[in-house]
Amino acid sequence: MTTYPILFNRTPDTLRRIGARGGPAHARNGRLCQRTAQSTTGPIARPQEELVETTAQAIAALDPQFPWLCRAERHASRR
């Protein structure tokens, strides 16, 4: 019989029994954790998308407020 000193000198039979107990216990604890996490969180709400103003809409809104700047983005043609 081989002993494994890194695992505190336990026999292979003992290690198999420990593994057999740990598998179902690990799965049970994982399922319990998932159920707890699902029950505590409510439905996920999506953040509302903000309306993005386009450049043309911004210019159209600013033109009436500042009439002296209307069409200021256009340069006079050079001759």
Say what the pTM is. 0.30
Instruction: Please indicate, yes or no, if residue 12 is contained in any of the structural domains.
Output: yes
> Residue type for 57, please?
Q
Q: Which helix (H) or strand (E) holds 51?
A: none
Range of the domain at 42: 5-69
- What is the tally of structural domains in the chain? 1
What is the structure's pLDDT at 77? 65
Of the candidates 57, 78, 59, which has an alpha carbon nearest to the alpha carbon of residue 69? 59
Partners of residue 10 on adjacent β-strands = 4
Q: For residue 18, what are the contacts with CB-CB under 8 A and spacing of at least 6?
A: 10
pLDDT tens over the chain, length 79 residues: 565 556 677 788 887 887 777 777 788 888 888 888 776 666 677 777 888 889 989 888 988 898 888 777 666 666 5
Determine, yes or no, domain membership for 31: yes
78 lies in some domain? no
Q: Three-state SS for 31?
A: helix
**Has residue 75 been placed in a domain?**
no
